[in-house]
Structure 1
Amino acid sequence: MNIHDPAAELRANVATPFEAAQAMPVSVYTSEEFLALEQEHVFAKSWLCAGRADALKAPGDYLTMEIAGEPVIVLRDREGTLRAMSNVCRHRMSILLEGRGNVRTITCPYHAWTYSLDGSLRGAPAMEMNRSFCKSQTSLPAVRCVDWKGWIMLTLDPDLPEPQETLREMDDLVGYLPMQDYVEVFREEHRWNTNWKILAENFMESYHLPMCHGGTIGGAVDLKKMTCPEGYPGFNFHHILKDDSIALSIAHKDNTALAGEDRYRTWLISVYPSLMITLTPGYFWYLSLTPDGPGHVKIIYGGGLHPDFAADAEAEQHFETLKGLLDHVNDEDKGCTERVWKGMQSRHAVPGALSHLERPNYEFATWIAGKIPS
């Protein structure tokens, strides 16, 4: 094995059975070359999340993001259909839209070429003297976009099976909670000084909760009672039973559909490569990750309410309390994951043995290794 080849190091790493497994090699986090492979073979060939579909309610509502460096617009067209398309003008290749907002048409800020909400070219000033120009044959290239259980999912891969196929086991696991009906209450964007995989792994395991979250939720966790089942090809998961000490974490008092432990169960679901969902009978929150170089990650951070609580007159007050807790937990995770990234720069940084509570991390490493060609 070439020790300077992060992909080879990773394949050797996951060839070890889980019972004797080590954390991923440092090189797969720090290498620019390995990140380029991830962009080409992971992010450009997977379903990625742009957030919740109810973030785009009205015709012309849009948001922007990048997939493997490709600028993309996601919007509601005039008929209410969810669409995604290239965010690059067909004239001189300017970026068209930035951030989020609402538009009647998409107008290039460089030369005022204008596109309809379906991506077709609507107007191009002073182009009538160029014989090669044909307005009817000029439009923004479409990007595959689907609404999967209320999540906006995008991919650059024209042949990738639909999320309902690649994530079909999700229905058996959490189908009793109607994710598509949960109502988003907040959406924020952050950038942290850590590698995207460090943050993904941090979400996947609850081994860190007692220490990293000692000031918030860590005291409610008993590691001896925690298990991490084997995951599925497209995602891993574990769950925790909670009481009513955290606002909205259990089923609404008027909910008659949920019974027994399902009224108290919190799911932590990691959809490969980069959508992390915490799903409870009362609320949800999520992270959607985009690498920004080896040492930074862009994060969509959002959350909201089960429909029972969304209709409750006191829900807003309860959610304010919950949002304060989630923000605090997020700040604790930021500190922990940024310290891991800093530690990886050390000449003494060597991956250690994994706990039985870090099975999802091993499965994540195995999934990535399977995507990177040898």
Structure 2
Amino acid sequence: MSPAQPVAELLEAAARPFEDARAMPPSVYTSPEFLARELDTIFSKEWICVGRSSGLATAGDYLTYELAGQPVMVLRDKEGELRAFSNVCLHRMSTLLEGTGNRRAIVCPYHAWTYGLDGHLRGAPFMAQTTGFCKDDYVLPSIRCEEWLGWIYITLDKDRPSVAATLRPLEAMIAQYQMENYVECFRETHLWDTNWKVLAENFMESYHLPVCHADTVGGHSKLEEMECPPGLAAFNYHWITKEASLPIGNAHPDNTRLEGRWRKTTALLALYPSHLITLTPGYFWYLSLHPKGTGQVAMVFGGGLSPEFMADPRAGEYVATLKNLLDEVNVEDRGCTEKVFRGMNAGVACAGHLSYLERPIYDFMHYIADRATGFDRSFALAAE
């Protein structure tokens, strides 16, 4: 495949009006050259969500993440601030931390060089006789890190506008939920055998719910109840207003923040490039995606409850019910999205027309075309 083929095919698809829209062509998902372009123009520049700030509640709590080839650690320092650093030792370049946990100091597993929670080198065994060595010269490089409505974001781009500025229109749209007060109850990492965009698109549209999720939430999903308006520059969204199948899907009786239809309305949010949130009056769950090659995606998966349900005596039961349901939903989604990627690799595979319920996928295609190829999205920006 020519490296230019995915770009040309994507631009052709993006130029179609929504009424005659087709999905992105298979080459955009299967081409290693196009993935390299995405890593360079998207993941090395955009804000990427790594979890909830409540997951790093006390000094020394940390998580690790690999962003566009850069190992990163995010931690709560002794002053209670969230900070992110390069997760690479300044001595022989071993990675420093793995997974999640709590540390009073950061100790390299190779030679025990030790850094404080502020990134400054505190100790280096057997270095006193090395001419020119000065402990004060060694400070882990900082990575930009911001908190927005309880989410932690990082970026490698020193000039990227703030998360709050980028997502200000969304913040106004969902203010009534007060998402910043929702409590994360579980966070996991997974690796699925599909393309990151396939999984992102799967989350963005509810057209697949009655079929892919027939054994779980599909029977409660009425497609005629869904609103799929055009997206904005940094995100797309759609709404579902219904009587939820789970008690935690609607507002708790003690919830005085939400009124009228908002007490039964779920927001499905896709924050570009890869932060995906289902926000209900009683609970939330999310994915944050990063490509690991064209055919694998690393996924942070988490969820939790609104403050009213967390304060309920049955909170433990509600969390268990939510987790069990989402585990079943993930099994179904994994099967569907891995089948889609296998099909995309067939020589005769081609993209078909989109349903009006897949408007978010159309907007996501324009975002990818904009970032990766310079496609003009001025028509979408004018709607803001």
- TM-score over 0.5 for the alignment? yes
Shift of 1:102: 0.8
| Pair 263,93 (structure 1): closer, same or farther in 2 beyond 3 Å | same
User: How far is the alpha carbon of 1:232 from its aligned partner?
Assistant: 1.0
Q: Give 2:362's aligned residue.
A: 362
Stretch of structure 1 that moved more, 140-149 or 326-335? 326-335
Deviation at residue 180 of structure 1 after TM alignment: 1.0
CA contact (8 A) 1:212 1:332 kept: yes
1:337 and 2:317 are equivalent in the alignment? no
Once the two structures are superposed, residues 119-163 of structure 1 have per-residue CA deviations (whole angstroms, 9 ceiling, x without a partner) of: 011111122222232211211000000111100000000000011
1:257 deviates by: 2.4
Deviation, 1:165, is 0.7
Residue aligning to 2:18: 18
Residue pair 1:247, 1:319 contacting (<8 A) in 2 also: no
Q: Deviations over 1:278-318 (max 9, x none)?
A: 00110000001011110011111100010111111111112
Per the TM alignment, residue 373 of structure 1 is displaced from its structure 2 partner at its CA by: 4.0
What CA deviation, in whole Å up to 9, does each residue of 1:167-216 have, x standing for no partner? 11112211101111101111111111100000000000011111111111
CA distance in 2, matches of 1:373, 1:131: 50
Aligned counterparts of 1:57 and 1:4: Cα–Cα separation in 2: 47
Question: What is the identity, as a one-letter code, of the residue corresponding to 2:316?
Answer: E
User: 1:1-374, aligned counterparts within 5 Å?
Assistant: 4-373=4-373
Q: Does the residue aligned with 2:243 lie in a helix, a strand or coil?
A: coil
Residue 248 of structure 1 aligns to a residue in which SS? helix
The aligned amino acid for 1:351 is A
Identity %: 56
Alignment partners' CA distance in 2, 1:86 and 1:228 = 39
Quote the Cα distance in structure 2 between the aligned partners of 1:120 and 1:129.
20
Q: Is the CA contact (8 Å cut-off) linking 1:127 and 1:133 kept in structure 2?
A: yes
CA deviation after TM superposition for structure 1 residue 227, in Å: 2.6
Question: What code does the residue aligned with 1:60 have?
Answer: G
- TM-score, normalising length from structure 1? 0.97
Q: Deviations over 1:72-126 (max 9, x none)?
A: 0000111111000000000111111111111111011111111000101111112
**2-structure distance, mates of 1:105, 1:301:** 27
Cα deviation for residue 8 of structure 1 reads 2.4
Distance 2:107 2:323 in 1: 36
1:56, CA displacement in angstroms? 0.6
Structure 1 residues 133 and 71: alpha-carbon distance in aligned structure 2, compared to 1, 3 A threshold = same
Using the alignment, how far apart are the partners of 2:244 and 2:370 within structure 1?
41
Per-residue deviation, 1:10: 1.1
Measure how far apart 1:344 and its partner are.
Answer: 1.0
The 2-side partners of 1:3 and 1:200 are apart by 23
1:245, CA displacement in angstroms?
2.5
Partner-residue secondary structure (3-state), 2:19: helix
TM value normalised by structure 2: 0.95
Residues 26-76 of structure 1 show CA distances to partners (whole Å, capped at 9, x for unaligned) of 111111111111111100110001100010111111110011011000001
Secondary structure of the equivalent of 1:34? helix
Size of the aligned set, in residue pairs, is 373
Contact 1:3 1:9 in 2 (8 A): no
Q: 8 Å contact 2:225–2:241 — kept in the other structure?
A: no
Give the secondary structure class of the aligned counterpart of 1:277: strand
Q: Is the 8 A contact 2:226 2:241 kept in 1?
A: no
Report the residue type matching 1:166 in the other structure: T
Q: Say which is worse superposed, 320-329 or 138-147, in terms of deviation.
A: 320-329
In the alignment, is the contact (CA less than 8 A) between 1:29 and 1:294 conserved in 2?
A: yes
**3-state DSSP of counterpart to 2:227:** coil
Distance 1:225 1:57 in 2: 38
Question: One-letter code of the match for 1:67?
Answer: L
The one-letter code of the counterpart of 2:255 is N
Q: Please tell me whether the aligned partners of residues 189 and 298 of structure 1 are also in contact (alpha carbons under 8 angstroms).
A: yes
Structure 1, gaps ≥5 residues long: none
Distance 2:204 2:31 in 1: 22
Instruction: Report if aligned partners of 2:177, 2:257 keep a CA contact under 8 Å in 1.
Output: no
Alignment partners' CA distance in 2, 1:335 and 1:37: 27
SS of residue matched to 1:75: strand
DSSP 3-state at the match of 2:153? strand
User: Could you say what secondary structure the match of 2:338 adopts?
Assistant: helix
Measure the CA separation in 2 of the matches of 1:185 and 1:24. Answer: 35
Distance 1:215 1:308 in 2: 29
- SS in structure 1 of the partner of residue 28 of structure 2: helix
